[in-house]
Amino acid sequence: MSDLTRLSAAELASLIGKKEVSAVEVATAHLDRIDAVDERVHAFLHVDREGALAAAHAVDRGEITGPLAGVPIAVKDVVTTKGIPTTAASKILEGWRPPYDATIVERLKAAGMPILGKTNMDEFAMGSSTEYSAYGPTNNPWDLGRIPGGSGGGSAAALAAYEAPLAIGTDTGGSIRQPGAVTGTVGAKPTYGGTSRYGLIAFSSSLDTPGPCGRTVEDTALLHAVIAGHDPRDSTSIPQPVPDVVAAARLGATGDLTGVRLGLVREFAGDGSEPGVSAAFQEALQKLVKLGAEVVEVSCPHFEYALPAYYLIAPSECSSNLARFDGVRYGLRSGDDGNRSLEEVMSLTRDEGFGPEVKRRIILGTYALSSGYYDAYYGQAQKVRTLITRDFQAAFEQVDVLVSPTTPFVAFPFGSRTSDPYQMYLADLFTIPTNLYGGPAISVPCGLSEGLPVGFQIMAPTLADDRMYRVAAALESAVGTFTPPAL
């Protein structure tokens, strides 16, 4: 048998289904690969060998069948897993073992997917490089001296390093798509409310969206179908059937985009993308035109305010959500020596438990929500959010999807953007508008710039997740997939 870690999830599922390989062999191959390379990649914060093998055995005994039964998966550490350490890459949650599974984790288990472990990320999903993980960064398998994107850099790196065929991410402002782009993998942010937030450690509740990560568009769609769908335990979950994203991906793979209108956002042009990123994007766009697509320029005049609006709304919601980490209920408690007041213990715990970026966001959000400033900052940002939503709605009257590079730059070297938060925030220039609107978007590898992967973003109207998969699969069929140098 060839190296199982190199196969796609669809290929693995088919081999397991035909009993040509056992789920235990597949899980073991990936666990061994993690043992061999993760010291250098550091994609994982926790590996659950025993749990993964037990789940694989259940599939081999015929207890669970299904389209991804026996295909192992890595889960971002911001998603709760019963009994398995879940830290959101923060010191404040060190040692916490959740008493319950997130809904999406329940669905992975019901689908017979062994969970290999929990992946590294920026603390509480705030960042674009994993450099804000309290447990050290993840290294990009394309170049170990560069960032793998963030916040879900661990999930993306695990895929690129062949440690897992599939992974779960969460996307609040780009944390699935930007890591996908800079590691040459696929990442999809579903429609907000299309995947359950129950059991996600909340960052910005009106934006947080869990979603699938894979090495191919079809694999990503297969995982999307497993985790998506209504959940009564999440009040913003959409009570509607999930569009058939797998069929859409297979249709797209036939390479016919006749009559599909792709919108190029005028305001994204001259946006400061690296020349190599723009060139790879334009080349891929021409390939879509050859498949029959039509390119239409559209105007979204409020997109230029998306980044400032996001950096008021997300920190505001985070300042409220993170109030629960008080040293009483979970994880770390500092200075509780019997002589300190409750307030002193809380304050010490939060001072020692949170890293600098999380503190920056809490302070910013608390300020934006404070009396006297609320209307000027938070209220204004909400109005901008409405205008951005209207820009999307107007654009989708003219085109089927919007397209752009996923992120303006390729994977950058460690330390090159940490001294100026704004430089880091620019990583999400193209991904954030979609989060404010709530629609689905996907990043697909489209080429290389200076030997590093470039991502192509496809944004679709809310609930039209199938449409973005069709275009994504067509793009993949035209440009192929990209393999990093051997580790």
**Which residues contact ligand GLN (rule: CB under 6 A)?**
125-128, 151, 171-175, 203, 314, 428
Contact 151, 130 (CB under 8 A): yes
Produce one character per residue of 22-49: b if its CB has 16 or more CB atoms within 10 Å, e if not.
Answer: bbbbbbbbbbebbeebbeebbbbbbbbb
Q: Which is nearer to ligand GLN, 44 or 310 (CB)?
A: 310
Catalytic residues: 76, 151, 175
Q: Which is nearer to ligand GLN, 171 or 231 (CB)?
A: 171
CB of 315 to ligand GLN, least distance (A): 9
Q: Which is nearer to ligand GLN, 128 or 139 (CB)?
A: 128
Between CA 10 and CA 26 the distance in angstroms is 13
Mapping DSSP onto H, E and C, the string for the chain reads CCCHHHCCHHHHHHHHHCCCCCHHHHHHHHHHHHHHHHHHHCCEEEECHHHHHHHHHHHHCCCCCCCCCCCCEEEECCECECCECCCCCCHHHCCCCCCCCCHHHHHHHHCCCCEEEEECCCHHHCCCCCCCCCCCCCCECCECCECCCCCCHHHHHHHHCCCCCEEEEEECCCCCHHHHHHHCCEEEECCCCCECCCCECCCCCCCCEEEEEECCHHHHHHHHHHHECCCCCCCCCCCCCCCCHHHHHHHHCCCCCCCCEEEEEHHHCCCCCCHHHHHHHHHHHHHHHHCCCEEEEECCCCHHHHHHHHHHHHHHHHHHHHHHCCCCCCCCCCCCCCCCCHHHHHHHHHHHHCCHHHHHHHHHHHHHHCCCCCHHHHHHHHHHHHHHHHHHHHHHHHCCEEEEECCCCCCCECCCCCCCHHHHHHHHCCCHHHHHHCCCEEEEEEEEECCEEEEEEEECCCCCHHHHHHHHHHHHHHHCCCCCCCC
Q: Which amino acid does the sequence have at 479?
A: V
- Least Cα distance to 89 among 432, 411, 358 occurs for 358
User: Tokens 């950058």 belong to which residue?
Assistant: 412
Q: Which amino acid does the sequence have at 184?
A: G
Q: How many residues does the chain have?
A: 487
Token reading at 1: 């048998």
